[in-house]
Structure 1
Amino acid sequence: MKNRTVAEILNKTADLLEMDGTNFRTKAYRRAAHTVEFLPEDIKSVKDEGKLEELPGIGKNIAKKIEEIIDTGGLEYYEDLKAMFPVDFEELMSVEGVGPKKIKLFYDTLGVRNLKDLEDAARRHKIRRLKGMGPKTELLILKNIQFARTDTGRKLLGQILPLGKSLKEKINGLDTVFKVEIAGSIRRRKETVGDIDLLVVADDSMDVMDKFTEMRGVEEIISKGPLKSTVRLEDGFEVDLRVFREESFGSALVYFTGSKETNVELRKIAISKGLKLNEYGVYRDETMIAGKTEEEVFRALGMDCPEPELRENQGEVEAALTGKLPDLVDYHGIKGDLHLHTNWSDGNSKIDEMVLKSVGMGYEYMAVTDHFRSIWIDNGVDEKDLKKQLLELKAINRELEDTGVDMCVFSGVEVDIDDKGNLNLDREVLEEMDIVVAALHSGLRQDKNELTDRIVNAMYNEYVDIIAHPTGRKILEKTGYKLEFERIVQASLDTNTFLEVNSDPDRLDLNDVMIREAIAQGCKLVINSNSHSLEEMDHMELGVATARQGWAESKDITNTLPLKTFKKMLNLN
């Protein structure tokens, strides 16, 4: 059984004890939960060795409780406490500002058992009549109930990353701030994010906290202190700001960037070397030996410094110990975008506008790949449109060459793969295109064998260069359709057809797991923005981040190649 599971049951027991008003035992269970959660070894192994009571904060009574959880998967004492308070505890706890003591108060005085009961009590102004409450508290509870109902707890990286960057810039502009970095799952570039974590080095921590909590856009101050404050913004995002001394900043970045699993592994390594590692530094006995930079912290542990995107305990710790970390594809290493939609089909921008944007992004090439008209998109291009577009692209390329701009605009099209794996465009037209992008857009209720057959058949079409958004997923809306992915990878290798890492923040498809599997087999990928506007072209960063999470290096990504080499690979004139 994982340590986290044991810790979770102990913490829930503490919550119920807090409702019962038993303060001493509440603290004991929370202390034990913390010990177990951050234990650098398997709690079951400690139990089997009979050493539970040697752990900090774990006495004979709680040791027996831990043994019961490990042996049975549950805790009778916890179930007995739950029976004392027949409320939907987890649902009520999801409301910000409502803790165990308030839950007990609402249950004892108002009979509140669940979220609906709580909302009814607030709307009928029953809460404001309770001791210590009032109209403001009642209104805040109503507002937070809505957050609890509508907030999944996760936001798309593409939604929250720009906000995180903006907040970092604002904090960095404060007079007393020397350094500020975004940490947490944003820094690891996870596809979804729970909140925003900012770490700061500053002269005057309270001045920073005052200005942080008074920033425009702050709707609610959840907590405020000299070293940590939390606010909720008007759009619902929560932001944590922590202040550290400069000599501890690197260690804080390591601690608040890595996943919980990675941090546990790092602490194990520290212990094995007779060291102690926490958010403030690396210590030998009571002497701090590292902490100012991340590189210094990892060096003290005898490791190379893994990039933030890798810190998920998926092999990066061992690779860092053995000098085998990948040289990840660089954010500025993309030489061209090969999946762009213009106002010829369902895009919002003109071709020449996208050309100027591409030049500004430092690209050497781009491809216009408007949707070809099909049963699922009636505003796509047809054969006549493509012929006209070819003439326009030739004129644009001549003008670029005449003005000395190093940019090549490839002709292209995105075509639908029908229910048999054929393309909805004649080969005579396909032959004229530099880049052909193919994708599934319809008939998605077929089984995984049929869907895989369709993609593989399309890959064996000599004109198809790229399979777009291969699994069709929408991160917070639908899982991708099931595929026999190993067959698709093999077809990619056999046909030299590239699988796309789609940078649309809703998609990020392929995901990191599939990327790692594909490149392990020697498959070549392409990172595209799938843009329908100039603004969306900036999403390329998200695709690169996803590829980096999948351990992709530049050699694995086709569109990191310079123009001349890229054209040679695809036999383009």
Structure 2
Amino acid sequence: MPIHNADIAAIFEEIADLLEIEGANPFRIRAYRNAARVVGEYGRELRALLENGGDLPRLPGIGTDLAGKIREIVTTGHCALLERLRGELPTGVTALLKIPGLGPKKVSALYHDLAVETPEQLLRMAREGRIRQLHGFGEKTEASILHAIEAYGSKARRYPLAAAAQHATALVAYLRSVPGVHQVTLAGSYRRRKETVGDLDILVSAASGSPVIQRFVGYDEVAEALSGGTTRASVTLKCGLQVDLRLVEDASYGAALEYFTGSRPHTIAIRTLARERGLKVNEYGVFQGEARIAGETEESVYAAVGLPWIAPELREDRGEIEAARAGRLPRLIELADLRGDLHAHTMASDGHASLHAMALAARAQGLEYLAITDHCGALKIAHGLDPQRLRRQLDEIDRLNAELAGITLLKGCEVEILEDGSLDLPEGLAGRLDIVIGALHSHFGLPRAKQTRRILRAMDHPRFTLLAHPFGRLINEREPIEVDMQRIIRHAHLRGCWLELNAQPQRLDLPDTWCRMAKAEGALVAVNSDAHGTAAFDDLAFGIGQARRGWLAPGDVVNTRNLADLKSLIAATM
């Protein structure tokens, strides 16, 4: 089975989780977590490098031992250490880690103190009120666990977009190499850039006699062929992801693409418009009686019902039909519109690359400016900078700006929003900072009103520029905080500060609906990578997909401005 970077990262993350459950050395645990992040963010497939006879690149934090494990995983598809750790714990314990809100520390306590070994046992303990008796849990935590495990049991598995992308990209490249294939397109929720996908839908057109169906079913990542035929097939990949392939004629390709891209409410609305015109729309085309009058392209399908083409990210039946009819569809932001990135870390805090390397990587990405916003103050887990270390970094930024061409580094820091809403901002250096990012990394469980007041107070600090990952969520891992986001968005507009759309695939925070709310209220959004390594600037593409789902145009995103205009806006926030 071909191993993708996401697979290696998942193995390292599971090793770290299991080591933490066993109470291993914290430095060893952190080494595996860092390795998972570095590998997951690396822009080239490590498997391909090794298979082509190359050496592993020098990756920050990846020493001889971890490099050996990467080779082992790529070569065998397994890791002996992970297998050993799994064998030391009951099988069900690892399933507990998949329940939102249950990290390895909580799982460790539940396992060692209550002998909880399966999700079913956990559910019973929560219903019996026994979890609240554990030190550090309490009644509220028990209620949250009960809610999470009940929801976990009722949901089908969904894959983060970035994880699905690694498998999807490789499969599409494979299908395009099959003789006779004309077109290959990923449809469904993947094409609409939803933050998670349940499965993959692939459309293919090909010459008569092309073996594309047989090659698809025989793809070396296929674990099980679910169905097959002359025009469609379904398989489950070894990663668990289901993929459906449909073979369509070139003359119907646009109609099939519109139909299988969805969403279902959007396609129903299109069919309703067609009926009003005496037409019929289905996956084979647009028909007037028995005659097909459109369908080769999506544009022809939309034109037949009196509409301009609608971008896939908008197809959720949230007003896009009415906007298209009225000529009010926005010119959605594109990746090329970004001029800079306002949130990035270096190895001075919890990043994996030097200041100089991050600057060069941002320039190579086509960015004109990059804000260096290492953690500052009391966030010890991220090796937060004290005033002396921050001062040295600011001096280094000044030196680099005098030397480097084509990229300007902005001086910033990411500071904790404390429980009372004050900022853990280093004293005496605020005047040298271009950007101050406020972020929540603790006290996620505060009541809604108190959490809202906390953030509003932080935003009122005269040096506050940007609210990072506003909901604090981790997709499939941690639920968003309870907060009055509409009030925060309106306050951001009045205060003149900005909201982040964090492009890290596990965050994608703000969610799309709140991006649209920000647009409606006139609050500016910053699409940032939150890069912790040089490869993470590629994640900006996922942030742009989320921004497009939120109807954002270039003018709604602050870092589409040139540097001079950006600095004017920054000055207005302080």
Distance 1:378 1:186, change over 3 A: closer
1:346 aligns with 2:350: yes
Paired residue for 2:503?
503
- Kept after mapping to 1: 8 A contact 2:414/2:439: yes
Residues 420-459 of structure 1 aligned to structure 2 (within 5 Å): 420-459=420-459
Q: Deviations over 1:536-560 (max 9, x none)?
A: 2211111111111111111100001
One-letter identity of the residue aligned with 1:175: P
* 1:369-401 C-alpha deviation (Å, 9 max, x unpaired): 11114155252211111111112111211111x
Does residue 282 of structure 2 align to residue 282 of structure 1? Answer: no
Q: 2:316 aligned with 1:292, yes or no? A: no
Change (3 A) 1:484 1:393: same
Q: Which amino acid aligns with 2:567?
A: K
The separation in 1 between residues aligned to 2:560 and 2:363, in whole angstroms, is 15
SS of the residue 1:201 aligns to: strand
Shift of 1:415: 0.1
Partner of 1:493: 493
- Cα 1:204–1:343 shift into 2, 3 Å: farther
Task: Tell me the residue number matched to 2:176.
Answer: 172
2:341 to 337, 341, 347: 337
Residue of structure 1 in register with 2:472 after alignment? 472
Q: SS at 1:339's partner residue?
A: strand
Counterpart Cα distance in 1 of 2:309 and 2:218: 36
Task: Name the % identity.
Answer: 38
| Alignment-derived partner of residue 532 in structure 2 | 532
The letter of the residue matching 1:231 is V
Q: Does 1:216 align with 2:250?
A: no
What's the CA shift for 1:437? 0.6
1:290 & 1:406 partners in 2: Cα distance?
A: 47
Paired residues for 1:290-369 under 5 Å: 290-369=294-373
Distance 1:490 1:211 in 2: 53
The aligned runs of 1:67-86 (5 Å cut-off) are none
Matched, 1:250 2:254: yes
Task: Count matched residues.
Answer: 422
Where does structure 1 lack aligned partners over 5 or more consecutive residues? Answer: 1-115, 117-147
Q: Which amino acid aligns with 2:350?
A: D
Distance 1:255 1:194 in 2: 17
Gaps of 5+ in 2: 1-119, 121-151
Letter in 1 for 2:557: I
> For the residues of structure 2 that align with 1:247 and 1:322, how far apart are their CA atoms?
29
Distance 2:379 2:334 in 1: 39
Rounded to whole Å, the distance in 1 between the matches of 2:481 and 2:457 is: 17
Aligned to 1:408: 408
Which one-letter code corresponds to 1:366 in the other structure?
A: L
Query: Residues 411 and 435 of structure 1 are in contact (CA less than 8 Å); yes or no, is this contact kept in structure 2?
Result: yes
Deviates more, 1:252-261 or 1:368-377: 368-377
Distance 1:223 1:331 in 2: 38
* Change in CA separation of 1:150 and 1:205 when aligned onto 2, cut-off 3 Å: farther
Which of 180, 185, 188 is the equivalent residue of 1:181? 185
Q: How big is the shift at 1:216? A: 2.1
| Per-residue deviation, residues 467-524 of structure 1 (Å, max 9, x unmatched) | 0011112221232112122321222112211000111112111111111111101111
Mapped contact 1:205–1:227 kept (Cα < 8 A): no
> What is the identity, as a one-letter code, of the residue corresponding to 1:280?
Y
What is residue 548 of structure 1 aligned with on the other side?
548
- Kindly report structure 1 stretches of 4+ aligned residues shifted beyond 3 Å: 148-152
Q: 2:484, 2:154 → 1: CA distance?
A: 35
The structure that has the greater radius of gyration is: 1
Provide the rounded CA distance (Å) in 2 between the counterparts of 1:149 and 1:432: 51
Tell me the CA shift for residue 333 of structure 1.
Answer: 1.1
Q: Deviations for 1:12-31, whole angstroms, at most 9, x for unmatched residues?
A: xxxxxxxxxxxxxxxxxxxx
Match of 2:200 in 1: 196
User: What is the letter of the counterpart of residue 361 of structure 2?
Assistant: K
SS at match of 1:428: coil
The CA deviation string for residues 316-369 of structure 1, in whole angstroms up to 9 with x for no partner, is 111122221111111221111111111111111222221121111110101111
Residue 72 (structure 1) aligns with? none
Counterparts in 2 of 1:205 and 1:161: CA distance versus 1, 3 Å: farther
* Displacement after TM superposition at 1:446 (Å): 1.9
Inter-partner Cα distance in structure 2 for 1:242 and 1:224: 10
TM-score normalized by the length of structure 1: 0.71
Query: CA separation in 2, counterparts of 1:531 and 1:150?
Result: 34
2:53 alignment partner in structure 1: none
When structure 1 is superposed on structure 2, of 560-569 and 336-345 the one drifting more is: 560-569
- Residue 571 of structure 1 and its aligned partner are, at CA, apart by 3.5
Q: Distance in 2 between matches of 1:571 and 1:150?
A: 49
In structure 2, C-alpha distance between the alignment counterparts of 1:375 and 1:483, rounded to whole Å? 22
Tell me if structure 1 keeps the 8 A contact 2:350–2:532: yes
2 CA distance for matches of 1:457 and 1:510? 20
Root mean square deviation, CA, Å:
1.9
Amino acid at match of 1:523: A
Q: 1:104-123 residue pairs with structure 2 within 5 A?
A: none
**Structure 1, residues 82-114: CA drift from partner, whole Å, max 9, x if none?**
xxxxxxxxxxxxxxxxxxxxxxxxxxxxxxxxx
- Structure 2 Cα separation of the partners of residues 175 and 367 of structure 1: 47
Matched, 1:272 2:281: no
Q: Is the contact made by 1:206 and 1:226 (CA closer than 8 Å) also made in structure 2? A: no
Which residue does 1:512 correspond to in 2?
512
In the alignment, the residues of structure 1 paired with residue 506 and residue 266 of structure 2 have an alpha-carbon distance, to the nearest angstrom, of: 27
SS in 2 for 1:431: helix
Deviations 1:412-446 (A, max 9, x none): 11000111111112452122111111012222222
Shift in alpha-carbon separation, 1:273–1:150, aligned structure 2, 3 A: closer
**Match for 1:215: what amino acid?**
Y
* 8 Å contact from structure 2 (residues 307, 324) kept in 1: yes
- Residue 391 of structure 1 corresponds to which residue in structure 2? 395
